[in-house]
Amino acid sequence: MQLIQEMEQRLAGWLEAIAGSATFAALEKIKVETIGKSGILTTTFKELSNLSIDDRKLFGEKLNKIKNTIGAAISNQVKLIENLTITEKLKTETLDVTLPVVNDSFGSLHLITQSVRRIRDHYHSRGFMVLDGPEIESDFFNFDALNIPKHHPARQSHDTFYIDGFDETLLRTHTSCVQIRTMMKMGLPIRMISIGKTYRNDPLDATHSPMFHQIEGLVVDKGGITIGHLKSELRKFVAAFFEVQDVAIRLRPSYFPFTEPGMEVDCRYTKENGRLKITKDGDSWLELGGAGMVHPNVFRASGIDGPAQGFAFGFGLERLIMLRHGITDIRTIFDTDVRNIRHYA
C-alpha cells in the first residue's frame, strides 16, 4: 500500500521534528497533524476497511507501530521539556518554607461533580432511575447487543481500548451498555438515565479526551412511545441543564446502528458579549448529541421477545459543560490547577 510506505518514509522527519521541539505547543501541533483525530495516520487507518482481512491485519500492524513510535517520541519530549522547565524554575525561583500556611479555602465541588448531581436530581425528581454499570465491558454488551456489526470501524484498536490478555474485553466506549444490562435484568417498562465514564482511543487536545463522561437516556415500554415523546424529553433536559425556561429543539436524520430512525439533536442559541447562550429565540443551531428510536435488534439482543417501543439519547457531559460555562478547551476541565476549581465553584 503506497500510502503506508509514505508514512514509513516520513516517520524519520516526524521524529526529527519532535526531537527539535522546544515547546508544548510545537509538540501538540505535530501530534494533531499525525495521530490526532483528523491526523494523517488516523485518516490512513480509516482506509484499511477497504482492504482484505489479511492486508488489513498486515498494514494495521505497520500503522500501529508507526503510531506508537510517534506517541512514545512525543511523550519522551514532553518529559524532557518538563524537566528543563523545572530546572530553570529552580534556578530563578525560591520558596521560603518557614512561612506559615494561610488557607482560607474549604474546598469546592468539581464542575463534573456539580453537573452530575444537577442531572441526577432532575431525573430523580421525575421518577427516572439513575444507573451506571461496569467500565470494563465485554464485546457483546458494548457492540453486539447494540447492533454494531463486526466490521464497524469503532471496533478497531485505533478507536477502542482493548484489555491485553482478555479476549473481547475492553473499556466501554459509551454508557449504552447500561441500557442492555437494565433491559435484560428488569424487562419493560423502563425509564432510566445513565451517567458514567467512557473511553475512546482519541488523543488529548482542545476538543477530545481519551476519557470522558456520557449521559444516556432510555424510555421503553410495550408500545405508545413516539418521536414526539423523545423531542419533549430532550427539551426538558436541555432546559434543565442550561437553566432556561424553554428551548427550541431540532432533530436531523442521522445513522446510528442501535436506533431506527436515528437523528442528531440541535438546539437554538445566540451569542451575547462573545458568550454562547441557549435560548428558544436564538438565530443559530448548535449540535448537542444523538438520539433515536431503539432498534428492534437491540430489543431482541436484550431478551425482549414481545412488543417493544422506545427512545434513547446520548450526550457528552464535558461538551455540555463547555457550552454552559464558555470553556473552549476540554483540558481545562481535567486540569488540576485549583484556581480553575475555585473559579467554577
CATH number for 236: 3.30.930.10
Which pLDDT score is estimated for 181? Answer: 97
Pairing of strands 129-131, 190-199: parallel
Q: What is the pTM of this model?
A: 0.71
The pLDDT score that the predictor gives to residue 203 is 86
User: Could you give the number of structural domains in the chain?
Assistant: 2
**3-class DSSP state for residue 1?**
coil
Verify that 23 and 165 share a domain, yes or no: no
Strand partners for 195: 215
The C-alpha atoms of residue 55 and residue 53 are separated, in whole angstroms, by 6
- CA proximity to 248, closest of 267, 265, 232: 267
Q: Look at residues 61, 92, 123 and tell me which one is the last residue of a structural domain.
A: 92
Position 103 scores a pLDDT of 67
**Domain range enclosing 30:** 2-92
Identify whether residues 229 and 288 lie together within a single domain. Answer: yes
pLDDT at 104: 64
| Cα 234 from Cα 156, distance rounded (Å) | 31
The one-character DSSP state at 174 is S
Backbone angles phi, psi at 152, to 5 degrees: -65, 135
What backbone torsions phi and psi does residue 131 show, to the nearest 5 degrees?
-125, 165
Do residues 243 and 128 both lie within one domain? Answer: yes
Domain stop point among 41, 62, 92: 92
pLDDT in single tens digits along all 345 residues of the chain = 566 677 778 888 888 899 998 888 888 888 888 888 888 888 887 777 777 777 777 777 888 888 888 889 999 999 999 988 888 887 787 777 787 777 666 677 889 999 999 999 999 999 999 999 999 999 999 999 999 988 888 888 778 999 998 888 999 999 999 999 999 999 999 999 999 999 999 888 888 899 999 999 999 999 999 999 999 999 999 999 999 988 999 999 999 999 999 999 999 999 887 778 898 888 899 999 999 999 999 999 999 989 999 999 999 999 999 999 888 889 989 888 888 878 887
Domain boundary (58, 92, 126) is at 92
